[in-house]
Structure 1
Amino acid sequence: MDVYQGAVAALVPYFVAERAYSYAAASGVVLAASLLSSLVQPLFGVLTDRWAMPWLLPLSALTAGAGVALSGVTGSYPLTLAVVALSGLGVAAYHPEAARLARVVAGGRHTGMSWFSFGGNAGFALAPLLVFAVMAAGGLPASPLLAIPAVLGAVLCATVVRSAGSGIRGAGLPVAAGRDDWASFLRLSGAVVCRSVVFVGLGAFVSLYVRQRTGGGEAAGTAALFVLYAGGAVGTLAGGRLAERYGRLAVVRRSYALTVPAVAGLVLVPGPTVYLFAALTSAGLYVPFSLHLTLGQDFLPRRTGTASGVTLGLTVSVGGLAAPAIGALADATSLRTALLPLIALPAVGRLLLCGLREPAAPGAVAAQRTDPRDPAPR
């Protein structure tokens, strides 16, 4: 599924090169993918709090893939925005229900949810390579080939749903006895918004920026985007392990602090070291990724679907709302100047996390009590 979130950003340089889009117009494509998704994903989260809807998984995979596949063959800018928005709708429909089932399977454990997030981040990492291969084969008119992962994903989801049968239709963790902590959840969401703006802004423009700075061609830009996304696959798994040792909030705070100098180096330090700073930025952005999800679910134990929809959807997709502003600033000044504000946002997110307390993790406790190897509560 997350191949299609990463593919939109990976397609931006080709829209600029083959269709002569301005930076602002190209970032509007990123906005189209994010806007509808950000608006409806919390709604899907509310629905999954009331009803299990595993049938959404294969349907949403096909929808996400169809939108991106059509984006390269549309004849007009408005139609391109429409099909990319359709892809965002598919992404929005998928994540809350998938997160609900992942939480059931993982028993609320941090490492289990980090594996779930790993899948998405691996998709992000593969997206630039997939887009590069397809564009090399035939440019934007070859974009229908990008539907192949969606078809494979839909078959996989349908097979799992059919084989599991009613077991997952009614699956869910017991409702926690505690109360929803909306104040903490909103502060966490604000921090995720800051992280999202940095992630989406870099995802949309780092490929073009590295081409300018290094003088390399498409391969140099694709390599930078791949490093930015690929480091996340490793960082997400590391986040779950680190959280079990040091606590979720401690790991999240340190990750935001690391991101500030990493983004500064990516934007300001010239030469091939841009790839090193891209890797450090990736670690800072991705280590807390799955921890955002479990923290949000534990801050709202009675509304885990809503928490998933907001944490994975609304707050993440809001980053796309900032993309046109970055693009417009780049058109008016330079791409380097437009990326400078991204250095400060992780620091703002770190400030929002100050004072938050670790919430109870009812899912993990429930899982520990029912584990035959560990019958006594810890």
Structure 2
Amino acid sequence: MPLPLFSRRFLIFPFLASIALYRLDTFDPALLPSDALNYSTTTLPPLSNDRFLTGAELIGVGLLNSPEDIAYHRAAGLIYTGCVDGWVKRVKVTESVNDSLVEDWVNTGGRPLGIAFGLHGEVIVADAYKGLLNISGDGKNTELLTDEADGVKFKLTDAVAVADNGVLYFTDASYKYNMRHFAFDILEGKPHGRLMSFDPVTRATRVLLKDLYFANGVSMSPDQTHLVFCETPMRRCSKYYINEERVEVFIQGLPGYPDNIRYDGEGHYWIAMPSGVTVLWKLAFRYPFLRKITGLAAKYGFEPMIFMENAGVLEVDLDGKPMALFHDRKHSHMTTGVKIGRYLYCGSLLHSHIVRLDLLKYPAQKRL
């Protein structure tokens, strides 16, 4: 959506201030690895729905404040999602969105992001400010599991997955910037992210990988041998083999910047991308001085994440081969895609609802 004339004029002032203070400020963006600047079309799938919002239904309008992640409890028929106001909310899944019920369940006092289910009915929450939480007793008990590793506090606990043996795998997107300032981590272009595990038996927190570029979504493989995790500015997802403790690329050169990744139990992962690749993002990631100007402008009121568009969800198979892309140029800040039955449910870092798309009525079709 184009900015109103007044808004465009208002945005000039932060940029003028940032240019004036360019040499004085210590904010120092780095060159990104060349992999992040590869814009080939090899990850474009054969099927696409490029009008995702056409036919999309909205759930919980006005009752869900930025529902970032989605976890579905099949037995209960409930969606759990974390909102910016601290609430973990539950949404009853029904055939008609008009019959969906939204319940305020537990307020963490922070910002719940990633959500997964433990082996004994617990709800595991990656809270950006609090750390890794265990909510049990149907919401009556909230326990902090861990909030640091190797003597370094988490600044942005992001996503979590639970293995069949109960071990929790999670990401800290940045040990330098918190959720309120996460844009600076991406603009700085330096690897502050970590992939970690927490063993509920030994209570040990292990750093599995460090020096990751904004470590984001994480998902267990169906055979439990490895994790798939996302690095947002690198536009890639990688495999971490648990027993071998080794890493290999799962998919790279994505058509957007990945957030959460979810396995659907049917042989496919769904990778949500809050924004597609745009000319502005291409230029910013190639030239650090542009990211510095943007970062300085952000200190004076400019919101760098407004330049996001063409959000979508990419469906890939177990080998990382792209299958279908659901996206829309008018949409942004899509953070999670979860397939439940014939529907795709999508969370958001910006909007006040969950988006649902009927995949049978509005399927991805062959590209022209």
Structure with more strand by fraction: 2
Q: TM-score, normalised by structure 2?
A: 0.28
- Greater relative CO (CA pairs within 8 A, separation 6+): 1
Structure with more helix by fraction: 1
